[in-house]
């Protein structure tokens, strides 16, 4: 199945943050491959940066899912005693090194930009060369769960704080942008906001969407699968469900897009 796509080197892919909900990205990428749309340039934030690095490495959907299933979110020995954050993010380095043994952006098969928040300067940084793993760890270091990551003289945390949908690094390189946003907003009932945790989760989602809405809607082809808000961003039990939601949703979007293109 093939649409009238631009050359892959003129096509970019943006992957948002969203924790376990990001597994929907994997289902979407699988469908894009079925439709022979495989962007060359990649930009991601938080879990989107991790999946972007796997995609840029040419990992299969099965390998991507295995990476997240086999990487522990919480391990007793990873609890932080001397750093801000419940878990010491640096302790995940060896787990990531098993997946990216060369530990460099240059070793990837596609160019990748990784968004991270510079806590000291209060700005967003897009890493795209040199050591890969520190940038990935920083981009996914969600406060206050994970400690910030020191890179050079800087201290970096979750890219989603400043830019959860990193569009700007790709604009000068491509003419067609595919966006996958898993930090979705849908109408909920009052009972869905009945605890402090649910209130925090809802308000954070609303804030992220409001900040990034303008970037998101400018995508040439956009995926925003609903039903993901019911999946806890740190609940690994939701991995397969989020993946399937993304896959089913992407097939419908692609079919509709090609019908419109043909009319």
State if pTM tops 0.75. yes
Helix (H, G, I), strand (E, B) or coil at 185: coil
Query: Which of 139, 158, 180, 219 is the catalytic position?
Result: 158
* Model pLDDT, residue 201: 65
Query: Which of 16, 43, 45, 46 is the catalytic position?
Result: 46
Contact 12/177 with Cβ under 8 angstroms? yes
Helix (H, G, I), strand (E, B) or coil at 112: strand
Domain ranges of the chain: 8-262
pLDDT at residue 3 greater than cutoff 70: no
pLDDT at residue 191 greater than cutoff 90: no
* 46 torsion bin: left (phi>0), alpha (psi -120 to 50), beta (else): left
Q: What is the DSSP letter of 38?
A: -
Q: Is 260 exposed, middle or buried (0-12, 13-18, 19+ CB in 10 A)?
A: exposed
CA–CA distance, 129 with 148 (Å, rounded to integer): 20
Share of the chain above pLDDT 70, in %: 94
**Fold category of 8-262 in CATH:** Cytosolic phospholipase A2 catalytic domain (3.40.1090)
Contact 45/164 with Cβ under 8 angstroms? yes
For residue 184, give both structure tokens.
């979705």
The helix/strand count (H/E) of the chain reads as 8, 8
pLDDT in tens, 51-102: 999 999 999 999 999 999 999 876 655 777 678 878 889 999 999 999 999 9
Closest CA to 180 of 8, 59, 46: 46
Concerning whether 90 is annotated as a catalytic residue, the answer is: no
Concerning whether 158 is annotated as a catalytic residue, the answer is: yes
Contact 108/56 with Cβ under 8 angstroms? yes
Cα 254 to chain centroid distance, Å, stands at 20
pLDDT at residue 190 greater than cutoff 80: yes
């Amino acid at each position: 199945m093939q649409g009238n796509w631009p050359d892959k080197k003129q096509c970019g892919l943006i992957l948002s943050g969203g924790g376990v909900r990001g597994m929907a990205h994997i289902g979407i990428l699988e469908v894009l491959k079925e439709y022979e749309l495989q962007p060359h340039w990649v930009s991601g934030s938080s879990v989107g940066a991790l999946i972007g690095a796997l995609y840029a490495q040419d990992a299969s959907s099965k390998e991507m899912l295995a990476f997240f299933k086999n990487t522990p979110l919480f391990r007793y020995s990873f609890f932080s005693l001397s750093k801000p954050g419940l878990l010491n993010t640096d302790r995940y380095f060896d787990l990531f090194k098993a997946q990216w043994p060369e530990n460099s952006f240059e070793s990837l098969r596609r160019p990748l930009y990784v968004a991270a928040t510079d806590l000291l300067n209060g700005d967003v940084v897009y890493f795209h060369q040199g050591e890969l793993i520190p940038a990935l760890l920083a981009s996914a270091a969600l406060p206050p769960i994970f400690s910030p990551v020191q890179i050079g003289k800087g201290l970096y945390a979750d890219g989603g704080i400043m830019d959860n949908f990193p569009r700007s690094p790709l604009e000068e390189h491509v003419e067609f942008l595919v966006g996958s946003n898993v930090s979705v907003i849908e109408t909920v009932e009052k009972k869905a906001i009945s605890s402090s945790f649910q209130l925090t989760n809802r308000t954070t989602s609303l804030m992220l969407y409001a900040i990034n809405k303008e970037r998101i809607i400018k995508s040439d082809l956009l995926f925003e699968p609903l039903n993901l808000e019911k999946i806890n961003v740190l609940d690994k039990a939701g991995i397969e469900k989020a993946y399937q939601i993304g896959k089913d949703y992407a097939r419908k979007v692609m079919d509709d897009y090609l019908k419109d293109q043909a009319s």
